[in-house]
Structure 1
Amino acid sequence: MHIIVVGTGKLATELLSSLKVDSESLVTSWDNRTQRAEKSVVIHAGSGRELRAVTAFCAASQSPLVELSTGSELESTQHTFPVVVCPNTNILMLKVMGMLAKSGHQFRSYDIQLTESHQASKSSVPGTAVSMARALGMNDSDVRSVREVDVQRAELQIPEIHLARHAYHQIRIRDGACSLLLETRVYGESAYADGVARIVAAVKAHTLENRTYSVMEFVDLGWL
C-alpha cells in the first residue's frame, strides 16, 4: 500500500525524506502518485489548496486520510472514507493531552498559566496549546505564545541548535504556597515523523469506519 504525502511545506518535506512505516509501504508525494485511484494511506500536511482533489481521490479509492493541519474543514464534514484528525503527532504529547482532557477539570478553580513556544516562523494557531487550555477551562486568549528568540533562549532555555524547530509547552498551577509545573519539550522533526509512522501503522492495522476519528480515539483504544 502506498503512503501519499500531500504538501510542500516543512512538515511534508520532512515526512517525504524520513517517514518509515514498514518495508512494504512506498512513501510518495501527491504530485508523484499513480494516476490510478489505488487504495493508499493519504497524509495531508498541506495548506488546503489540494484538499478538494485529495478528498475526491480518497472517496474514489476508499483510502483513509490522515489530517495533520489544525482547524481543517475535514473535522466538521461527513465523508465516505475514514479521516483521522491529528492536532499533534508526537505520541507522548498526545497521551499528556489525553490525561488533561480527562482530568483537567479538577484544576479549574486554581490560578493557571499556560505558555507555548515554537520557532519564530510558525504563524498558525498553536492547536496543542489551545487543546490544553480548553481542557483546563481557560480561554484560547489566555495562552501566552512566545516567538521571540531572545525569550526562548534566556527564559525558556531552548538550546540554540533547536531554536529553528521546537515545540515547548508549560503549565503552571498555583494554590497559595503550593505550585505544580508541567513542562513538555519536543526538539527537531524526528518525534513528529516517528509519531506519524505509528499513526499510519495503526491505520493500516485496523479496519476503520467511514467517519472522522480523533487521533485521541487511537490513544484510548491502545493502538498507539
Structure 2
Amino acid sequence: MTETYTILIVGRGRLAAELLHGLQGPGIGSVLPWDERTAAGDGPCMVVHAGSGRELGDVFDFCGARGTVLLDLSTAGTRYPAEPGFPLVVCPNVNMIMLSFMAMVRQAAGYFRGLDIAISESHQAAKKTSPGTAVHLATSLGVPAAVIRSERDPQVQREVIGIPEKFLDRHAYHDIVIRDEQVEIRMQTRVLGKTAYATGLARVIGIVSSRRPSPGCHDIVDLILGDA
C-alpha cells in the first residue's frame, strides 16, 4: 500500500505557487505552504524547498527533529549541514526528461575525460540564481562551474540562440560542446514556456518514497540511476 505524504512547500515565488496549486499524484495527500506546517500533524510528510533560502534554518531544524525528507529545488549555492540527520535530496531539476538527460551525461562522462568541453546556458533575464542544471552537468563532465557561459540578454537569446519571442520570459536552454581537433559533438536542451514542474515533482516524490533514502545528502540523479 502506497504511503500518503503531506507535502510542505517552502517559498513564495512563481515556482512555489505553481507547486501549491498543481501538485498531485499517488502518495500525495495534502499540499500545504510552509507557514501552515502545524496542520501536517505527526503523519508522514516531505518538505520541498523552492524559495530563496531565508527559511532554510527553520527547515533544517524541522526535518532534523522529524527525520523528514527535504527536496531542495533551489540549489543556488545552498549551504547544507555537514552531516544532515535527515534525507536531503538535491534536485537541480524536476523535469523528468531533463533528469534522464542529466543521468545519461553522468553515465557517459568518463568517455570524454581530457577533451575540450564547453557548457553554456540561457534563462530568462529575471533569473538571478545559479544555473543549477548547468552546474550539475559541468560537475558530471569535470568542467569548472566558473567557466559556464550564461546568457541573460533577450536580444542575444532571440537573435543568436533562437529562443522565440514569446518564451523569452520563461525558458531554459543548455548547450554542451565536446571536441578535439577533428570531431565535435553538440548536445542541446530547450525547455520553452511553463514546464510541467508539478507533474515532474510528483514523479520525483514517488521515486524518493520508493527508494527511502537514508539520512545524508543525496543527488536526485543518483536516485534515478538507482531506480532505472
Same fold (TM over 0.5): yes
Identical positions, percent: 42
Gaps of 5+ in 1: none
Shift of 1:3: 0.7
Where 2:196 maps in the other structure, the secondary structure is helix
Where 1:22 maps in the other structure, the secondary structure is coil
Asked if 2 retains the 8 angstrom alpha-carbon contact of 1:21 and 1:200, the reply is no
2:78 maps to 1:106: no
2:79 alignment counterpart: 73
Shift of 1:23: 7.4
Give the 3 Å change call, closer, same or farther, for CA 148–199 of structure 1 in structure 2: same
Which aligned pairs between 1:103-142 and structure 2 lie closer than 5 A?
103-142=108-147
Shift of 1:52: 1.9
Structure 1: distance between partners of 2:13 and 2:152: 19
Give the 3 Å change call, closer, same or farther, for CA 106–44 of structure 1 in structure 2: same
2:38 alignment counterpart: 34
2:25 maps to 1:51: no
Structure 2: distance between partners of 1:138 and 1:212: 22
Once the two structures are overlaid, the 10-residue window that deviates more, 209-218 or 134-143, is 134-143
1:192 alignment counterpart: 197
So what's the TM-score if we normalise by structure 2? 0.87
Shift of 1:148: 0.5
Pick one of 8, 15, 23 that aligns with 2:19. 15
Where 2:65 maps in the other structure, the secondary structure is helix
Give the 3 Å change call, closer, same or farther, for CA 63–136 of structure 1 in structure 2: closer
Structure 1: distance between partners of 2:74 and 2:155: 28
Give the 3 Å change call, closer, same or farther, for CA 79–114 of structure 1 in structure 2: closer
Shift of 1:83: 1.4
Give the 3 Å change call, closer, same or farther, for CA 33–68 of structure 1 in structure 2: same
Specify the code of the residue in structure 1 equivalent to 2:168. L
2:221 alignment counterpart: 216
Where 2:221 maps in the other structure, the secondary structure is helix
Give the 3 Å change call, closer, same or farther, for CA 138–61 of structure 1 in structure 2: closer
Shift of 1:172: 2.0
Give the 3 Å change call, closer, same or farther, for CA 56–171 of structure 1 in structure 2: same
Specify the code of the residue in structure 1 equivalent to 2:6. H
Instruction: Deviation per CA, 1:140-171: give whole Å up to 9, x if none.
Output: 23211110101111111112221111110011
Give the 3 Å change call, closer, same or farther, for CA 54–162 of structure 1 in structure 2: same
Shift of 1:118: 0.4
Specify the code of the residue in structure 2 equivalent to 1:156. I
Gaps of 5+ in 2: none
Instruction: Give the root-mean-square deviation of aligned CA atoms.
Output: 2.1
Shift of 1:11: 1.4
Asked if 1 retains the 8 angstrom alpha-carbon contact of 2:103 and 2:222, the reply is no
Structure 2: distance between partners of 1:193 and 1:108: 35
Structure 2: distance between partners of 1:41 and 1:203: 10
So what's the TM-score if we normalise by structure 1? 0.88
Structure 2: distance between partners of 1:91 and 1:112: 24
Shift of 1:59: 2.7
